Structures are given as structure tokens and as C-alpha cells.
Structure 1
């Protein structure tokens, strides 16, 4: 016999307008799940604007952090660090990096307790470490400290808290990725805000027997003192939580199927980006205290547009001829006839009317302007075998964004492309938004935008219908 529903479950049911009379806990949980699923299916995007690469990329650099206090994004190139205050349209002069072995080892930058903090590989010891700098503006270089925390050789920083939402006021947290060859894998450290030197790090978790990696650490902005950690690979107790700033820990789930990486939060859920091959999103439901699949479609077969995205198309004003100007990109296929096509200077509702060859087609409507090297998108049916371990929630509306890869499922030469997806709310199916110009260190939600690698765009608006 099923137990009577607990108070949290009853509260959630009443919020959804569901009667609790005569229902067991299992029956009420099923009714809540059905209501959420039905509601999410009626949520639609109202502000979609296709990706415009010219406004998103700074010289091939990768965004690694946002300073929400200063309204600045930090980008890492192959040689240095840069700052942008206009969403990547322009950037500062080189700002300098800590003394690291390579700029590529600088994994993330956050602002905490009035300073900028980053992780990178110490050029002297080859260990991953933490560095600090006083924020500057404009083209003024950053002056970084020496290494403040020595982590294990070869470790990398998958997670670095507190989050960009300013985290908690008492501690800064760092998760050590760890090495399989090390007994117990990685560790989690915290730094008290009262330590002006930045060196009084305390080990608060690990090493743990049987643990390979610490994937991520994040502070819960909804609950001061709550810290979440995800572990891998293949560890049963793969999600842990502390409610006392890391002094003690509780295993939140003991099943490696829920293995995850990036962590984010809103008032109703904790969002966990999966590190497995069968989920797009895992959430912890605060009301029910249970983990659940947060998207209604398995990510291994996401229905999206095919890799029909190209950046060297040429149009002529008043002409229906579309040509690949470089004559290098083999873009078109005879099966494209009748398919919708969008892009620069192409009117809405245009389709491909006729196929000439792999480099030229005839459009159903004439181009509105002349352009060489434009962006086009041919809508081809495809399903991706995606990897979704990077994602974050827009806590203002509960929309979850994640980056995925087609895992070489596309045509030769353009396979392995990354795409941006959104889950409008828990229980909804992922929706494809844009192709991405490359990979990134994580998905950021900050300054009213979603950021990933060389890409950023305004957050999506939604309406219930």
C-alpha cells in the first residue's frame, strides 16, 4: 500500500491546482508529473532570432567567465586574456594571464569577494592551481598572484564555485578533477572570505575511496550554505550535498545512471547536465526531494535540423540564384529541392526550387540584397547522437540551455558540429536553437544572455499557449 503524500508533495499539487483528496503519494506524484508534462508542452518560444556569427565571435577566442558586477565577459585566446563589455563585438587589449604552462589550461574566471579568481596549470610545478587579481577596467592589464592552492599534478578544473550568481558570502569553493591513478581521485576545497592572503584553503571532501573524478562544485543561491558536488566516472554516489558550507556531506543519489557535470539552480529545481548517453537533463525536484529526467526526449536522438549550415554563400539582389562563393564548400544535394532555406538576404518562406550542382541552387524567391560570404541554413531532417554535459538554467523563467554535439553523425566534412538547445521548462522536449562555432568550457547564463565558447545570444522569451 502506498504511503500518504508528504507535505511538500501536497503543497506542489495545490500550486498546480490538483486535488489531493483521497490520493496516495504515488497517485499524487503521477498526477503532478502529468500536469507538468501537459503544461510544458504548451510553452512556445516567442523571441527566437537565428544565430548571427558576425556578432558573436572575438578573434576565435573562448569565453571563460562573466563578471556580472562590471558587466564584462572574459575571453581566452591561444596567447592571452581579453575582456569585452559589449557581448563580444569588441574587446580590450591583452590583459595578461597568470604564470601558467598554456592559456588553454585557464579553465574559468569568477568574481568573488571583490577579486577575480581563476584556475590554471602552474608553469613551475605543472600542478593545477588558483590565482587571484584585482579587477581592472578598459585596457588596464590584470596583475595576477602566484599560485594559491596546489592541486594534484594533471588535474583540471571542471567545476569552480561559487557560481556567477555571486555564490555565498563565506567561502570560495574549488573542485579538483583528480586522476584515475590516484587513490580516491579528487578533492573539494574551500577558502574563507576572511583570509586576505587567499592561501588558507581547507579540504572539505575527498579523497574518497573508489572515486575517480570530482566533476563540479556549485553553491545554491536559493539556500545559503548549501553546496553541491558531482562525481564520476561510474561512481554510485555521484551527487553529494552539504547544508553547512561543506563541513558535512550527504549522498543525494546512489546510482551512476545519474552521473552529471555542470550544476545550476532555480527556485524549484537543481539542474544537472548529464554525463551519460541517455539523458538531456537531470533535475532534483526541491518539492518532492527526488531526482527525475528533466526533458521529455532522450538526448541520444534529438530531432534537430541537419548540418545544413554554411558561411560562404553568395546572393545577388533580385536574383533567385544562390551560389557558394568559395567553390570549396559542397553544400547542396538533389534532395534539398523543396526544403526551406533561411539566411542573410533570403526572404522568409523561401525554399530551394531547383538543384544545379553541389555549389549552386535556384531559390523560390529572389534575394533582397547582394552579398558574398553570407550565412545560410538548409532545413534537413536529422537526429543527433549528442553529448550534453554542459548546460545551465535561466533561473528567471526555468528555461534550461545546453550544448550538444552531433557525434560525427553529419555528412563527411561537417560532422562533429556543436548545437545549442533549450528545454523550455522541466518536462518539455529539447528544442534546437543554433549551430555553434565550436566548443566551450561550460554554458554561462549571465547579463541577459547565454554564452558558450565563442558564442553568445540573448535569452529566449516564452509564452504559454
Structure 2
């Protein structure tokens, strides 16, 4: 007979409670991460075939990133990835579909080309779908399942965001928004591979009617997820991924957790790991310094000190006050005015007025935001990246959460990993980085 505690648990939690302790099959492999050369960002992953984009244009590798061949971009797309935005490519019914900002008007477009090998070049269509005024692209907002390809608007669409689907990539139908959809923008769209026809939508920011939507009919109609997951901004997310028992979320919040998940039965959100990545030490982190004359004003984000010697290098660094939390925990420097004046992020404004506060400034701090992450369904290991974003931190990293909640650092990432995390063919990819997945 199950004990009373177990009787109150979701089925997925019962499995976890009675499962054996999880251990990696070998010592934790750190620094096993590879990086694509010449500033390439991976924008399409199809087994050993990779597509990348850099300031030099589009390239393809057919041997898992060992060698690269330059490829053509659509005529109305700029060469530089930085100008074209967060490009991404999906494979749908035998063709590639690329999202990118157009040269002609700076707005998003969707382009199609057949896959090619060797020296053969892509032949891209003109734009099949165009974003509205004010819209932008994000790597998580283009997706496909067996029946439909989906795209949603990021940025700040002038009349609100819209969501589209197409059965053939040519004819697109608007299935949500803008007037029936209260949100600043869409963060991502995610077909559930365990439930054909089920598609999830993550949205933001403040003022949104809902933060997660779900369709059970391939995007034809949508409903806000009931409870906290749908209506509480504290559980706002960007990337969503799935295994048989859980739905995983990369949080878009400064609430300090690295990832959360919801069991399929109740859709109740909870933390994935036992701790936040923000509290792990940064190996060989930057030095810190002590300030004894920090001046704060309650309700103000501005801080001053005659001796701090603030510089631009302090932006992103954590500042921690001793004794009472004169500045809230996890405050980071947002800007520096001069050697004696700086500001923390507005959400971390001082709670106490004082002029002799002692504080520790600097030291290595992981990027606060963990927008992007994905679960490996074969093992239940969740991979995510920490990004500076707008909430502080000065070091980006790749982390893993084991099924028992243990959080571990995989690698420090030397450039911003601001893009979708993908698990494919025994590897985890994010932007220009990839590494082998872990074995249990």
C-alpha cells in the first residue's frame, strides 16, 4: 500500500520517488564543448548536417561541423547574421524553411529551399510569410510537426503579435491574434511529440492575458493553461521541451530558479533542480573588492561611493551588501555613470537608506537568465544555458540538471549562447557550441 505522502503525488513524482538514485556512467565530462569557427552560430541541426550563419553568410557542414561549405542566402536577406536577426531553419515535408529579417524592410520573412549536398547551392523562394510592423524573430518561434509548420511574432508588433500555421509552407493561416491575443510578443512555439496535435505557446511580458497557451488541434484554436502556469508571470518562460512524463520550461524571470517543469496530469509548475545555477561558484572567477561607504536611498536604483572606483567593467557584476539586505539579493550593476556613481537594475532598488553600508562588489557571477533549455528524453537530463540578459551576471555557461535534481556545470561559454538549445543525435547544441550528451 502506498504511504499517505505518495497518495497525494502526481504519477510522475511517484515514479521519481521510487526510482533508483541517478548516477552518471563516468566522471563528469567538463570542457568537452566544441565551438564552430569564424563566429558561426548553428541555425539548423539535421543529424550530421548542420547549417550555420555568421558575418560571412550561411554555411553547411555534412560531417557534424568538421568542415564547412558556403551557401547562398535568399536574395532579400542580409549576409550578416547580426543584421538578419535570430535566424533559424526547420525541415518540413522535405524542405528547409528559414526565418530571417529582410533587407528590403527589416521585417521577418519565411523562405523555402530544398536540401542540397556538396557544392550545390540553395535555391531560395521569395518570402512566403511576412511579419507585421514592429515584429522581430527569435530562434524558438519557428517550428514544425508532421502536419503543419508554425511561426509566431516576437519583438513589439504594432497591433500585437500573431501566430500562423501552414499545411504546405505556401498557404499560411493566422490562427491567433492580434486582436484576440493580449501579449507583448510570443517567445516560442513547440509541438509536443508525445501528443500529436498538441502545440504549446510561451508568451510575455507584463500585461499578457496568459503566459502559456496550448492547442490540441494543431494550432487551430488555443486556450490559456489554467492555474499558475498560464496566468502567473512568475512562471513565464521562453523555450519549452518534453519527455513522456514532464513538460520543461526555460524561465524568463529573475526569481532565481534555473528551470522548472510541470507534470502532464496536473500541469503544476515546480523547480527542476535542487538549486539555482546562480549560486554555483564560477571557476577562476573574477576578483571582488570591498566597499565600506556605499550610500543608498530606499526605492532608488542609484548607488554612490567615494571609494568604489566604479568602471564600465563593473556592469553585470553582482553587488552584495553585508548585514541586512540593503540591496536585494542577486543585485547586479546595470550601468556606471562615473567613478562614484552607478545603478543596479530597477527591480533590485535599495530597500534601506544609508551612507556607511559595507558591500562586496564583483567576482564572477553566472548570467541570471536561463531562457533556453531542452530535455534529453532518453535520459531525463535537462540542459540549459545561463545568459547575462537584462538581469545581471558576467559569465555565460552550459549546465545540466540530472533526473534527481543535481545541478552541474558543463562548460563556460566564451560568447553569448542567446539561442535555442537542441538535442540531436547524441549531442546538445546552442548557438555556436555543441558537446556530447551525458550518459547515465
Do these two structures clear the TM 0.5 threshold for a shared fold by scoring above it? Answer: yes
Q: Does 1:46 align with 2:26?
A: yes
Decide whether the 8 Å contact of 2:182 with 2:209 is kept in 1: no
Residue aligned with 1:43, SS: coil
Gap runs ≥5 in structure 1: 1-18, 309-380
What residue is the counterpart of 2:39 in the other structure? 60
- The superposition leaves residues 184-230 of structure 1 with CA deviations (integer Å, 9 ceiling, x where unpaired) of x211100113xxxx331111111245410111001111111001000
Residue aligned with 1:261, SS: strand
TM-score (normalizing by structure 1): 0.69
Q: Does 1:111 align with 2:84?
A: no
Residue aligned with 2:16, SS: helix
How far 1:437 moved relative to its partner? 2.6
Q: Does 1:221 align with 2:203?
A: no
Q: Structure 1 residues 146, 97: CA separation in 2 closer, same or farther (over 3 Å shift)?
A: closer
Q: 1:13-412 alignment to 2 at 5 Å?
A: 19-20=1-2, 23=4, 28-29=8-9, 33=13, 36=16, 42-44=22-24, 46=26, 48-51=28-31, 55-68=34-47, 71-101=48-78, 102-104=80-82, 105=84, 107-158=87-138, 159-162=140-143, 167-179=144-156, 182-183=158-159, 185-193=160-168, 198-207=169-178, 208=180, 210-234=182-206, 235=208, 237-252=210-225, 253-277=230-254, 278-307=256-285, 384-405=366-387
- The superposition leaves residues 296-317 of structure 1 with CA deviations (integer Å, 9 ceiling, x where unpaired) of 2134434453448xxxxxxxxx
Q: Structure 1 residues 405, 150: CA separation in 2 closer, same or farther (over 3 Å shift)?
A: closer
- The superposition leaves residues 426-449 of structure 1 with CA deviations (integer Å, 9 ceiling, x where unpaired) of x50321011113124211111210
Q: Structure 1 residues 31, 61: CA separation in 2 closer, same or farther (over 3 Å shift)?
A: closer
- How many angstroms apart in 2 are the aligned matches of 1:170 and 1:30? 32
Q: Could you say which structure has the larger radius of gyration?
A: 1
How far 1:48 moved relative to its partner? 3.7
Q: Structure 1 residues 24, 93: CA separation in 2 closer, same or farther (over 3 Å shift)?
A: closer
What residue is the counterpart of 1:424 in the other structure? 402
Q: Structure 1 residues 114, 147: CA separation in 2 closer, same or farther (over 3 Å shift)?
A: same
Q: CA RMSD in A?
A: 2.9
- The superposition leaves residues 137-159 of structure 1 with CA deviations (integer Å, 9 ceiling, x where unpaired) of 02221111101111113422222
Q: Structure 1 residues 306, 255: CA separation in 2 closer, same or farther (over 3 Å shift)?
A: farther
- How many angstroms apart in 2 are the aligned matches of 1:408 and 1:202? 34
- How many angstroms apart in 1 are the aligned matches of 2:250 and 2:391? 21
- The superposition leaves residues 21-40 of structure 1 with CA deviations (integer Å, 9 ceiling, x where unpaired) of 6x488x52289758737858
Residue aligned with 2:194, SS: coil
- How many angstroms apart in 1 are the aligned matches of 2:2 and 2:438? 35
Decide whether the 8 Å contact of 1:129 with 1:147 is kept in 2: yes
- How many angstroms apart in 2 are the aligned matches of 1:301 and 1:435? 15
What residue is the counterpart of 1:335 in the other structure? none
Q: Does 1:438 align with 2:415?
A: yes
Residue aligned with 2:129, SS: coil
Residue aligned with 2:171, SS: coil
Residue aligned with 2:120, SS: coil
What residue is the counterpart of 1:315 in the other structure? none
What residue is the counterpart of 1:451 in the other structure? 429
Decide whether the 8 Å contact of 1:421 with 1:433 is kept in 2: yes
- How many angstroms apart in 2 are the aligned matches of 1:385 and 1:128? 28
Decide whether the 8 Å contact of 1:95 with 1:139 is kept in 2: no
Gap runs ≥5 in structure 2: 287-362
What residue is the counterpart of 1:9 in the other structure? none
Decide whether the 8 Å contact of 1:40 with 1:424 is kept in 2: no
Decide whether the 8 Å contact of 2:161 with 2:181 is kept in 1: no
Residue aligned with 2:187, SS: strand
- The superposition leaves residues 129-187 of structure 1 with CA deviations (integer Å, 9 ceiling, x where unpaired) of 1000011002221111101111113422222343xxxx42211000111416x24x211
- How many angstroms apart in 2 are the aligned matches of 1:152 and 1:120? 13
Q: Structure 1 residues 199, 239: CA separation in 2 closer, same or farther (over 3 Å shift)?
A: same
Residue aligned with 1:140, SS: coil
Decide whether the 8 Å contact of 2:32 with 2:436 is kept in 1: no
Decide whether the 8 Å contact of 2:366 with 2:397 is kept in 1: no
Decide whether the 8 Å contact of 1:175 with 1:189 is kept in 2: yes
Decide whether the 8 Å contact of 2:183 with 2:210 is kept in 1: no
TM-score (normalizing by structure 2): 0.73
Structure 1 range deviating more: 252-261 or 200-209 = 200-209
Count of residue pairs the alignment pairs up: 352
